[in-house]
Amino acid sequence: MRSKSSSVVDIIAEMEPWVEELMLLREIILSTGLKEEIKWGGPNYSLDGKKLMAIGGFKNYASIWFHHGVFLSDPAKVLINANEARTKGLRQWRFASMKEIKPPLVKKYVLEAIKNAKEGKEIKPEKKAAIAIPAELQAAFKKDKLLKAAFDGLTPGRQREYLEYISEAKGEDTRLRRVAKCAPIILAGMGLNEKYK
């Protein structure tokens, strides 16, 4: 188990068999003046508080991913969208060996990412449409003011989980059962799936 005081070098050292590749990528990125920090358990690089890229080792490759890579010109045609269904801006560059890493080319992509960030090119997250509170949950709130207060105290994401879960039930009986099932979890201040974690 990694300690909270782990450095980026310590984290990379655990990413076998890609330690050498990741250290080279790190060196290239740091040569551009980006700020290095540990985010999501791995090395991330930012400019003026904007996350630009991260590196990591996976089973079959080492990778650098650009958070707003969709704006990169990609002259070498090396960037991929690892998840077409969900990913809008992120692009990944995979390296299966040390010899695939061409430092001048990698640096060119990093510098273009920096230039794009300075120009304000970024994908803005889409706002999700508000979900109406199901009538069955509204009725439960009228009967139990503590339930309403507990629900209001949840984060918007947790509230959304409950609203989606209850609303997606087709029949009124199922929605009522779901409200009854969710009430104690809401009162405990937890998200819908937290009790299983």
Q: DSSP letters along 56-79, please? A: EE-SS-EEEEETTGGGS--TT---
User: In terms of pLDDT, which residue wins out, 125 or 19?
Assistant: 19
For the stretch 80-117, pLDDT in tens is 998 777 778 899 999 999 999 999 999 999 999 999 99
**Could you check whether the bond before residue 17 is cis, i.e. omega within 30 degrees of 0?**
yes
User: In terms of pLDDT, which residue wins out, 41 or 62?
Assistant: 62
Q: What is the mean predicted confidence (pLDDT) over 25-37?
A: 96
Q: Is the pLDDT of residue 14 over 80?
A: yes
Edge-to-edge, what's the strand order for the sheet holding 50-57? 35-39, 42-47, 50-57, 62-66, 91-95
Q: Is the pLDDT of residue 1 over 50?
A: no
H helix or E strand, kind and range, residue 164: helix 156-167
| The two structure tokens encoding residue 143 | 């009967």
* Cα–Cα distance, 189 to 191 (Å, whole number): 7
User: In terms of pLDDT, which residue wins out, 11 or 88?
Assistant: 11
Percentage of residues of the chain with pLDDT beyond 90: 78
CB atoms within 10 A of CB 140: 21
User: In terms of pLDDT, which residue wins out, 104 or 5?
Assistant: 104
Mean per-residue pLDDT over the chain, rounded? 91
CB atoms within 10 A of CB 108: 15
Q: What is the pLDDT of residue 39?
A: 87
Q: What is the pLDDT of residue 6?
A: 78
Residue 5: pLDDT band by 50, 70, 90 thresholds? low
Q: What is the pLDDT of residue 196?
A: 56
Could you say which architecture CATH assigns to the domain 8-118?
A: Alpha-Beta Complex (3.90)
CB atoms within 10 A of CB 75: 10
* Cα–Cα distance, 188 to 178 (Å, whole number): 16
**Residue 179 burial class via C-beta count within 10 angstroms: exposed 0-12, middle 13-18, buried 19 and up:** buried
pTM: 0.64
Residue 12: pLDDT band by 50, 70, 90 thresholds? very high
Q: What is the pLDDT of residue 82?
A: 80
Q: What is the mean predicted confidence (pLDDT) over 171-187?
A: 95
Name the residue ranges covered by the structural domains of the chain. Answer: 8-118, 135-196
Percentage of residues of the chain with pLDDT beyond 70: 95
